[in-house]
A and B are shown apart, each in its own frame.
Chain A
Amino acid sequence: MLEVRAIDTYYGETQALFDVSFDVGTAEVLTLLGANGAGKTTALRSILGLTRPRKGDILLDGQSLMARETHEIARAGIGWVPDDRRICPTLSVAKNLSLGIKRTRYRAWSVSEVTEIFSPLKYLMAREAETLSGGEMQMVAIGRALLGSPGLVLFDEPSQGLAPKIVDDVLSVIRRLKREGIASIVVEQNAEIALSVADSVVVLAQGTVAWKGAAEELKADPALKRKLLGGAQ
């Protein structure tokens, strides 16, 4: 569904990604692993057009995203759950969720389906977002992404700063999305968490693809895992 083709991405004059390529299939969970500064978040920002690649191409279902604005890319069916959640603190939970609602050609999600997945949200609808805990904010961020009817969801460090129970909930959502035919790209520092849901893996190191393959292959080879992810496990 998504093809990233030899992209080079820069911040000003500093190159952050070098000739990065990978594919994500329908309902596939791909995890991007790597140390801090390896280019994982930049890869997500490149897909969303927030930091536009200067070279290469990104295609969604065969259509290039390179000339499209970020809001058009989102409307094409790409959802984003950023690492710092980026919920508007002065709006209620209900309004934050409503900002995500849009129709695409992928499966539409209703607010009741979102509150069925994250039951605490039912009782938090009227609360101002700035009073929420980190876990509750993550629920809002994921719910908001689902209400945008995505075909692909980009999760940036979904376990960051969360209690183990909430991390488990987030992982179950990623598994449910897979069952519903929705693809995910999961950027994680915690390789164990990421590999527990991933079908395929791309390991980034200093902005380049150091390894890519099936998650099972990496899980089955501890020596390779140590070599690639030594500092990121």
Chain B
Amino acid sequence: MSIVGLLPHLVNGLALGLLFALLALGFMLILGLMEQINLAHGSLFALGAYFAYAIATPRLPLPPDLLAIWAAVPLGWRFTAAMLLAPVLVAPFGVVLERMMRRTYGRDPLYGLLLTFGMAMVLEELIRTVWGTRDYMLPVPRGISGGFLMLDLIWSTYRFWAAGFAVVAMAIVWVVIERTRFGALVKAGAHDSEMVRALGHDLEKLRVWVFVLGTMMAALAGVILAPVWGIRPHMGVDAVVPSFLIIVLGGVGSFWGAVLGGILVGMVVGLSGAYASEWSMMSMYLLLIAVVTFRARGLFGKKSVLEA
């Protein structure tokens, strides 16, 4: 295969990687502050995709007249509304989950794992109950769908847009984390929650807001990825594994680690898909093994006191 022949796979991998990174950043925010692995993160991602589908197609529980008016609105507006509203609609699920997790804080991490695993199952069943088991496809507005010709190759327009959406969303998250007092509080809370409380900050409120932010990022990634992956009940499971893997690969607690980890995973999955598609998913696990064998704390992780 020539280099030019590889290009679409590299670009697709990059786009996928940026979306993985967005999903993984939400996962990491929650892991950083709560010290809890949220196995329901993928289900929140799936809910985002389903809510977007309901808003854009439109299949909303509205009176027929209102629904007809909304259906007459151009798809571009409905798609934009789905991107903005789906994360807001999924946020309360994150609030409920955080509320349920409170009893597990400071305890054996297994309790949190079991709770979020149970919640993931509940959310997946809820999706099956409401939307059934069939696959759906989120329609994309004409302006950003289809393909275009470049270097004698056909490129998917939406993948470029999806990568752009992911970059913009990550840039907003970066500004929030690095340039606001809320971000400083999140970092300080992840480092030393006791001190943050002793400075007069309500850690319970902070945890809720971090969960809301992480949940909205998962849901937004779900909306953006839905036209690429399709929408199905177990898409959450397909998403949570790469998220966890990216965080370990990039180094827990590192924004740029998550971004680079996401891009690496996306590229490896994209490239291996070009040569041997049956190895596509396996390739990301091999990448993780290769990285942690030589650098146990991940690419950007802080050195542990346990390391020599």
Contact = CB atoms under 8 A, between A and B. Distances in A.
A91 B188 contact: yes
A196 interface: no
Interface stretch (A1-9, A67-75, A106-114): A67-75
A160 B53 CA distance: 60
Most central of B192, B194, B197, B198 by chain A CB within 10 Å: B198
Interface string B88-106: 0000000000000000000
Q: Majority SS of interface residues in chain B? A: helix
Contacts of B188: 88, 91, 96, 99
B196 A99 contact: yes
A135 B184 CA distance: 23
Nearest to A76: B200
Interface string B178-213: 000100110110011011111111110000000000
A74 B197 contact: yes
Contact of A48 (B191, B196, B198): B198
A82 interface: yes
Nearest to A86: B195
A71 B204 CA distance: 10
A212 interface: no
Query: Which bracket fits the contact residues of A?
Result: 20 to 34
A75 B203 CA distance: 13
Nearest to A95: B184
A71 B77 CA distance: 44
Contacts of B181: 95, 98-99
A6 B208 CA distance: 36
A148 B184 contact: no
Contacts of A70: 194, 197-198
A205 to B, nearest CB: 27
Interface in A27-86: 48, 50, 69-71, 74-75, 80, 82, 86
A216 B203 CA distance: 42
A90 interface: yes
A50 B192 contact: no
Contact of A99 (B184, B194, B202, B203): B184
A90 B199 contact: no
Contacts, number: 57
A88 B192 contact: yes
A210 to B, nearest CB: 28
Range class of the B interface residue count: 10 to 19
Give the residue among B185, B187, B194, B195 with the most A Cβ atoms within 10 A: B195
B191 A89 contact: yes
Contacts of A99: 181, 184-185, 188, 196, 199, 201
A82 B184 contact: no
A50 B200 contact: no
Contact of A82 (B185, B187, B195, B203): B195
A150 to B, nearest CB: 10
Nearest to B189: A88
A144 interface: yes
B7 to A, nearest CB: 38
A88 B192 CA distance: 7
* Most chain B CB atoms below 10 A, which of A69, A82, A91, A144: A91
Nearest to B254: A90
B194 to A, nearest CB: 6
A173 B199 CA distance: 19
Contact of A71 (B184, B191, B192, B197): B197
A181 interface: no
A18 B84 CA distance: 57
Contacts of B185: 99
Interface string A128-162: 00000000000000001000100000000000000
A225 interface: no
A127 interface: no
Nearest to B192: A86
Nearest to A100: B199
A228 B187 CA distance: 43
A74 B191 contact: no
A90 B200 contact: no
A228 B198 CA distance: 32
A178 interface: no
Interface of A: 48, 50, 69-71, 74-75, 80, 82, 86, 88-91, 95-96, 98-100, 102, 144, 148
Given A86-B194, A86-B195, 4 more contacts: A74-B199, A80-B198, A91-B188, A102-B199
22 contacts: A50-B198, A69-B202, A70-B194, A70-B197, A70-B198, A71-B201, A74-B198, A74-B199, A82-B198, A88-B188, A88-B195, A89-B191, A90-B191, A91-B184, A91-B188, A95-B184, A99-B184, A99-B196, A99-B199, A100-B199, A102-B200, A148-B200
Interface of B: 181, 184-185, 187-188, 191-192, 194-203
